[in-house]
Structures are given as C-alpha cells and as structure tokens.
Structure 1
Amino acid sequence: MKKIPLLFLSISLFLGHAATAAEPEKPNIMFIFADDLTYEGIRAFGYTDIDTPNLDKLVSRGTTFTHAYNMGSWSPAVCMPSRAMLNTGRYVWSAKGALKTLEKERDRGVMWSQLMSKAGYRTYMTGKWHVAVDAESVFDVAAHVRGGMPEQTPEGYNRPKDGEPDIWSPYDKKFGGFWEGGTHWSEVLRDDALGFIDDAAKQEKPFFMYLAFNAPHDPHQAPKEYIDMYPEERIELPKSFLAEYPYGEDIGAGRKLRDERLAPWPRTEHSVKVNRAEYYALITHMDAQIGHILDALEASGKADNTVIFFSADHGLSCGHHGLLGKQNSFDNSTRVPFMMVGPGIPAGKSISQPIYYQDLMATSLALAGAEKPDHVDFQDLMPIIRGEKETKLEAVYGAYVDFQRSVTKDGWKLILYPNIKKALLFDLKSDPLEMNDMAGNPEQESRMKALFSALQKLQKENGDELDLTETYSSLAL
C-alpha cells in the first residue's frame, strides 16, 4: 500500500474540516398555520380593530406579502384542497389528481414533510391536517392530529336572531367544539409546540415544525375574557355588508351550505356583528398562544437560526357581501396573511407582488438547501425577497368547483358565474372591497376580453376542464 505523506494528510484533513465548517448551517423552519383567517384579520395591516400583538410583531420583524392567495377548490370544504396543494406542491387541479393516489405519493416520499426529512430535518406536526393520508406516516413526530373542524352543535347555527335569546355560548364548554376534551384546542396545540421545541433543542438535526391551528374556523369559541374584549359596540359592520348575496344560490354559496347557515337570513347588523366579534375573539386567543410559542422558541436558543412562516389556508367572508363562508371569489375569502421572519429576511418589509401562499413550501425547500422536485409547481420566494426578480405570476387564477372562475391581473379582477352566465369586473385599486361591479360599462369591454383571454390561458396551463368559451362567447377574442 502506498503511504500518504503525513504533512499532506494533515493539510487535507484541515482543508476538509475548513470546508465543512464553512458550510452554512441549515435554518430551522417553523410554520404556523391558521384556518379561515382572512387577510384583514391582523391589526398591523390596518383593516380591522382587532388585537393581535404577537402577529403584529411578526409583521414588524419580517417580510409580508400583502397579496397572497389560495388558488381555489374542487370542494365546498375549501381547506382540504388548499392543504393538498400545500403538502403535495401541486396546483389545484393537479393536486386533485394527486389526492386520488395519495398513498402512492406518500410511498414515493414526495410530500412536503418527507422532502424536509430527506433534507436532514426532524419533522413535527400538531393540529389540523385534513389531508387524506395519516400525518403520523409522513412526520417524525405528530400529536393531536385534528380533522376538518371542531364539531358544531345545532344551537350554533342560525344565530343570533334579533330580539330572541341566544342559547349558544362561545365559552360554555357544554357545547363541545374547541372545548372537546376539556382544554381549548388552540391551547393544546400551544402545549404540543412547547414540547416539540424542548425536544428539538436536544437534537442535532434542524427542525421543521408544522403547527396547524383549527382557529379561527367556526365554531368561534374562546374563553370569556377574550369574548369580553369585543362588545358589539366595538365591532364595525363591513362596508360591503348585504342582507343576502343575490347570486348565492347560483354560485354554490346559498342557504344549504353549512358555512352560510351560521347566521340567519336576511343578515342583520346584529347577527353579523356578533359573528364577527366571536371570530375576532378566537383570533386574539390564537394570537396569545402564538406568543407563548415564540417566547419558548426564544428561550430555547434556536430563534436566531429559525425561519418562521405564518399564513392561512384561505380567508372568510364573515359578513362581507351577505356571505359568511369562504366559497366565493372575493378577496376576503381567497386572500390570506403571509409573513416570513428569520435570518436573511428583511424586517418591516412589505411586498405587494401577488403570490400563492403555498409558495412557502418551495421556499422552505430552498432554505433547506434541497433541490425543488419537478412535481412542485409553486415558486421559491427568496429571490423576490432579495429583490433579484419579480414574481412569476402574471395573473392570479381562481376556481371554485364549476360554479366560479376568476382571474386577477394588473389590479383588475374578473369573476365569472357560469351557471347564470354572469360576469363581474372590479378595479381593485380604487375598489378593494369589490363593491362596484364595472362589467356593464361599455368602456371596459376590451379589458374584460383581455382578462377572459388570460383566464383561458391559465385554465389550459392548469388542466382546468371547464369550457367557458360558449357560455361567454361575447368575451372570447
């Protein structure tokens, strides 16, 4: 055997060690996920009189994408397709196909948590999963994996009615829901997260935490002290308030839809204000639990090398346009908060370029030093944050079953209701609450045709099989 000179061996070992030492340490990834949280629901954004001190801190400490969207849904349970897109990395109709073979997806190891595991991360999950494969099979550690929503009771619907006593209470534990098991589910998630952080502090591997609150999905239950923070006189009625949305029955958001049955028809100022107050209280209670989680992360010594993502699966109407749910194409339902905090991420920065919130999956893979697999449709946001490029989204695509389609481009939104051959057009810059439909304005004809063409292009790119050409022949170029 040929002997290696001792000096050469020593130099080689030193250089090898130096190269290893120079490799950047992989950041930990903490994803905090809300359910049904509209983009308006954080005080720092200036839309709503709501108390969210800990989410406000994330806004000030990191970068916010102000126009983050969910692409849509093939189901009235919008959260399920949203989470399928997030965890498979695929756009909406491709994700629907992947969902049918999700067991194979799991076996192939291509789901988000599995890709993070391959990149060297220890993975944790707690809270709402709602993806058709066991969370325990794709995370290293999983606790209190929840289904779609806390169970609602009959008393929680069609309320409150003006002039009648309200027998349902958001803080009475006898109504179950978030109180099922004795401890509020948001507090259970907090405790799980604190346990994860304690365990992660003892591990050599970086961590990936998927902390998925069921809040603020209904039933909007919170401890009494949080409910008391929002007396009815504090709550402002949405400027887009209507007694009932005129097209609700035609677009899959009518009186039979579970979400829409929470308040009586016609909507009254009182019923909407009470529903909004309870929604705000649940958000503020969730915010308090997030504060405990962030404090624990800081105390663990891991905060300086942890990237925190915060977002939600979709928004919620909660009184806008006479609607309560998320099965519509208005921004209050399709647009969500999106913040990033951590090393290499500018503080106090706001980016208005449109993104899909599911882009955080590809972004986390890039931060982990993992190559983005071919099946992942969503984009890495770090080049946008660094100012190296703009978003690849020329237009934002939106879909809800076959009842609705939308496209948002250059500050304008076209919404289509194919069942009734209805088209709506909104100038989002001057009319962000989408209250002034301009589709009947002859001066907007060319704009509507251009937006329709953009939508058809997106339909083709996304494998959307709904043919709108004949229904909207007047818009076809």
Structure 2
Amino acid sequence: MSSRRPNVLFVMTDQQRFDTVGALGYDHVDTPNLDRLVDRGVACTNAYSSAPVCVPARHNVRTGCDPTTTGYLGNDKRPADHLEDAHGPFLARAMCERGYRTFGVGKFHAHPDGIDLGYDRRLTGDDYAAYAESVGVDPSADTGRLAATNFLPQSSGIPPEHRRMAWIADETEAELRREDDRPFFGLVSFSKPHPAWNPSPPFDDYYDPDDAPDPIRGERTVDHADEKVPAQNHHFWKARDDDTGLHTTRVARAHYYGLVTQLDREVGRVLDAVEARDDAANTLVCFFSDHGELLGDHRGWGKTSFFEQSTRVPFLLSWPAELEAGRRYDGLVSLTDLFGIATTAAGAGELRDGADLLGALTGTAPPRERLVGCHETPRETDAFSIPHNATAMVREDDWKYVYAVDGGREQLFDLGSDPRETADLSADRPAVVDRLRGALVEHLRGSAAARLLDGDGLLSTPYERIDMGRYHPETYGPFAE
C-alpha cells in the first residue's frame, strides 16, 4: 500500500438496483459517470444488502455489524444511541480516531435525528431545506408525499440545479476543496432514486418507455412465496397481485431510469472534484446503494424482498494507486464489508462482522464464503405481527435459499442457470436446502434475531394473509426518502 494513508469517500444512493450501471452490460440506462468509475476500478457484481430496507442498511454501514447483530431488521424507529456501546464506535468516529477529517452530507436515517454519528461536519436534509427556501424552492416538493402516487411516474418542477441531489454534490465539492493536512473520510448519501420517481426536465422524458425492459414474471406461487410482497403492494396503493398494466410499468421504469441518469450527473461532479485533487490516485472511492427496488419484477414494488432486484446492489471500488482498473469481481460482497474497507485502508483494519474485501481483491485474504440476510417489518398489529412477517436469505456459490416464517415457506434458486429467479428448486435439491437451512440456523443462534428459531430449527407459523392496511401519513408519518 501507499506510504501515505488514502482518502476514503463513500458515495451512497437510495433504492438503486444493481442493473442500473451501463458499463456492466445494462444498456437500457445511461450512466456515463458510473461507467467512468467502473473503468477506474473494480466492479463487485455480487454485492448485497443484508436487510434490504433503509434503516438497517445504514446501521450496517456505520457499525460494520450484520443486522442480526444490531437487531435492526427493518425500518425500526428505536433510538440507536446504544449501538456504539454495544458494538464499538460508529465508522465516522472510528476514522476520526485514526486521524481522519470526517464529513457526511445527505441522508442518514438514524434515530433520534440529532444522534451523534461521529462526523466532524454533518449536513442533513434540514440544511437542504434552509438552502431551498433561500432560493425560493419548496423543499417538500423534492420528496414523496402520497403513497397512492409514489410508485407512479411523475415529474418535478424543481430545476436540476436546485434538487437535493445537486445540493449534496455542491456541499461535497466544497468539502473536497477544503484544505487540511489530514486525509479525509466522507459519506455522500443521496436520497434518490428512492420514490417518488420524479426526475426534473429533461430527465423526465430522457427514456422512451417502449425501450424499457419488460418486468420479470414467474409463477405467482414463486413470485409471492414471501407474503410481504403482495402485502406491501397493497400498502402502497397497488393491487396485491399487481395488475399494473405493462405500459404503466414501462413508464414508471423510464422515470426511475431518468432519476438514475439525473443522479449520475451529480455523482460525476463529485468524481470531477476527486480527480481535481493532487492525491486523486490515492483516494479510495466506494459507490454503493442501501438496497434495490422490485420495479414491477416478480409482481412487486418496493424493497424488503430477497429477490435480486431488491437485495442486490451496485458496488464499485476505485483506488488507482492500489487496485487494478477495469476489473470485475464476482465474489460475494456485503454492505457489512464497508467498515473493514475504510479502516483497513486507514491502516488499522477492523472487520467486525465483515469480510476482508480489500484482502480478497489483492489476494491476501480469502473471499467471503457465504452471505446471510434477514428482514422483518417492525409493526405490531394482530395482522402483521413480529416475527410472523420475517424472511431470510442464504447466498452461497450460485445457490440462494430464501425462507419465510409465514407458512414456513422455502425457496431455492440456482442463480447460475436461472438469474431471473423463476424456477424454485427446493423440492428437487433437498440436500442443498438442508445445508443452507442449517447455515441459517447457526447464523441466527445466539444473535439478536434468535427469536426466528424454534429449538434446533427455524420458526414456522401457519400461513396467514398479511394486511398492512393502506399507507396514510397521519397513521405512519410522512413518506420520507
């Protein structure tokens, strides 16, 4: 490694699917700046969010601990102040302790809102609101408000230069120009392409809906084996079985891709600011998302599912001084590994629950053997009780095992031969199911999610149709990005 410790910059997006980076073979979306990052470094093509929803993913990054360790498996609004006492300093504080100047800009999604996450300088949505009002923009217009329309195509009247994503890039550019003798650690956290799918002109008609890929549709018994998928459809004003017409789905996809391309422009400004620095080659940039989006695939919308489109994320690493450019890495990667990436680059590696990805890339450490995910929705009602709604995943080699407590449903997919996950092989490969089920049991034993066990096996409840009710802000609070 270089004798001087590198800068470390995390660039995080919200709800961005893995298949939205043009240079990785997904030519239905235009991402010249992410493509530039691919060419500049390593693209990890099997990266996952272990609990594919906002809060646990962010705790995952800041603690370096799996969701089954932190106990945050869904968008739980419990205070997170205790996590440092339980698991060690948050990542920003850990980098401060290693002599780094630290800053964070954008979305943090931690409770309480004013929690100290360890940054020297932190700018949030409140700071954007103050900026927006100063230039005569209604900041609430940049967020989704009505779940009935949140997953439908929309346009924003806010010019691109005044959107929150542009403000995040503005503030990041300023931080990257700041003079300081210390190396920096920064988290740049964009809140798009999370719904509402409302790109600004010209990005709102950048894509022809007729060119958008058709949604993946398997047998309904396969697509909806996780009862949370149809329940979530209904909650967000879709039909449970998703009767959204093909044209509407394509238009929604075109607007989602428009947001990705608009966001790519802002990511490009951040990369330009990095490359303008004298130490650009010794700056480690990690680009990733907190989770994906079904976007009509498998008759579903939103996240929380363990289908690839929801749980697999883009994950790009660039460190020209140390990592080979233009490389593809197909080993398993988790958001949990990010803590170790930053601290290892800083010269004092601390993996916690993560694997040593930098070591795997340089041949000094073994690749991750297995990846476990777990999710449950923290809503205490008779119809939607914990842990009735919990689901889990084990990914090993090309196999993916998915388990749903509701009904004790099991699925097994061979992603090598069936990347679209339409053929459930659980009845055909019982030995593989037994092995991966056993791995899940061992992962859960003694963890903060041990309630999902029943003795030496997995908890199973009689199948029950879940009714989350319709989303209403007066009941659930504003639909925050």
Would the aligned equivalents of 1:244 and 1:322 in 2 still touch at CA under 8 Å?
no
Q: Does 1:203 align with 2:180?
A: yes
Distance of aligned partners of 1:235 and 1:436 in 2 relative to their CA distance in 1, 3 Å threshold: same
SS at match of 2:61: helix
> For residue 453 of structure 2, what is the amino acid of its counterpart?
D
Task: Tell me, in whole angstroms, the C-alpha distance in 1 between the residues paired with 2:267 and 2:315.
Answer: 15
SS at match of 1:30: strand
Q: Does 1:153 align with 2:130?
A: no
Task: Tell me, in whole angstroms, the C-alpha distance in 2 between the residues paired with 1:457 and 1:237.
Answer: 39
Aligned to 1:435: 422
1:71-470 alignment, distance < 5 Å: 71-72=50-51, 78-96=53-71, 102-105=80-83, 110-133=89-112, 134=114, 138-145=118-125, 151-154=143-146, 157=149, 169-173=154-158, 183-199=162-178, 202-240=179-217, 247=224, 250-251=227-228, 253-255=230-232, 258-259=235-236, 261=238, 265-342=242-319, 343-372=321-350, 376-391=352-367, 393-401=368-376, 402=387, 403-441=390-428, 444-460=429-445, 462-465=447-450, 466-467=452-453, 469=457
Task: Tell me, in whole angstroms, the C-alpha distance in 2 between the residues paired with 1:71 and 1:305.
Answer: 29
SS at match of 2:402: strand
SS at match of 2:213: coil
- TM superposition shift of 1:144: 3.1
State the TM-score, normalizing by the size of structure 2.
0.81
Task: Tell me, in whole angstroms, the C-alpha distance in 2 between the residues paired with 1:197 and 1:459.
Answer: 41
> For residue 33 of structure 1, what is the amino acid of its counterpart?
M
Query: What 5-or-longer segments of structure 1 have no aligned partner?
Result: 1-21, 161-167
> For residue 123 of structure 2, what is the amino acid of its counterpart?
A
Query: What 5-or-longer segments of structure 2 have no aligned partner?
Result: 129-139, 377-386, 462-481
Q: Which has the larger radius of gyration?
A: 1
Give CA deviations for 1:324-381 in whole Å, capped at 9, x if unaligned: 11121111111111111112011111111102123121111011112427xx221331
Task: Tell me, in whole angstroms, the C-alpha distance in 2 between the residues paired with 1:461 and 1:189.
Answer: 40
> For residue 424 of structure 1, what is the amino acid of its counterpart?
Q
- TM superposition shift of 1:23: 8.6
- TM superposition shift of 1:93: 2.2
SS at match of 2:276: helix
Distance of aligned partners of 1:426 and 1:381 in 2 relative to their CA distance in 1, 3 Å threshold: same
State the TM-score, normalizing by the size of structure 1.
0.81
- TM superposition shift of 1:207: 0.8
Would the aligned equivalents of 1:245 and 1:323 in 2 still touch at CA under 8 Å?
no
Would the aligned equivalents of 2:193 and 2:256 in 1 still touch at CA under 8 Å?
yes
Would the aligned equivalents of 1:251 and 1:417 in 2 still touch at CA under 8 Å?
no
Task: Tell me, in whole angstroms, the C-alpha distance in 2 between the residues paired with 1:219 and 1:111.
Answer: 30
- TM superposition shift of 1:280: 0.5
Give CA deviations for 1:188-209 in whole Å, capped at 9, x if unaligned: 111111111121xx11111111
Number of aligned residues: 427
